[in-house]
């Protein structure tokens, strides 16, 4: 059994409006790796404003090798989280979901028993989680994520 972190990509690690990685994104993911976490990236099948997809952006940033798995799907749903839990058999009490989406990704993390960190930033900063599925921790910077994990 391992400790994992499931990272959201768009608006958590990458800012599609400014076409660059979020501040401290690389350091936060590297910090998780140094602390013994297996990093998993989950992203919807989307492109940024200039048509680059998630894998292309990760390669250009040098972050693609920091993830044990890069899962790109049309929707983030229970199926993709079930696959991760089945494949990695994580220590749930020591594993996290990090995302800017409280109503979807954080909800899924809580549903599967993972710890959750809501990166309250940008477009979805006012989105609230369903009652009973609130994030364990809320942060406004990825630097804070590196300090928590």
Distance between CA atoms of residues 94 and 88, nearest Å: 13
Q: What does the mean pLDDT of the chain come to?
A: 91
In the chain, domain spans = 4-148
pTM over 0.85: yes
DSSP line for 49-85: TTS-BHHHHHHHHT-GGG-SEEEEESS--HHHHHHHH
Q: Tens digit of pLDDT for each residue in 19-78?
A: 899 999 999 999 999 999 999 999 987 765 556 788 889 999 999 999 999 998 888 888
Q: Domain spanning 4-148 has what CATH number?
A: 3.40.50.1000
Position 136 pLDDT exceeds 60? yes
- 54 closest CA partner among 40, 41, 68: 41
């Amino acid at each position: 059994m391992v400790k994992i972190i499931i990272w959201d990509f768009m608006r958590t690690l990458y800012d599609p409006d400014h076409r660059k990685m979020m501040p401290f994104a690389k350091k936060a993911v590297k910090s998780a790796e140094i602390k013994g976490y297996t990093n998993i990236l989950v992203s919807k099948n989307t492109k940024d404003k200039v048509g680059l997809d998630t894998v292309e952006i990760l390669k250009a940033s040098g972050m693609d090798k920091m993830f044990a798995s890069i899962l790109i799907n049309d929707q983030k749903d229970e199926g993709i989280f079930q696959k991760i839990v089945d494949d990695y058999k994580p220590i749930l009490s020591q594993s996290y979901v990090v995302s800017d989406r409280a109503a979807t990704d954080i909800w899924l993390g809580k549903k599967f028993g993972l710890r959750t960190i809501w990166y309250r930033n940008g477009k979805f900063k006012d989105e609230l989680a369903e009652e009973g599925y609130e994030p364990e921790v809320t942060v406004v910077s990825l630097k804070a994520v590196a300090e928590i994990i």
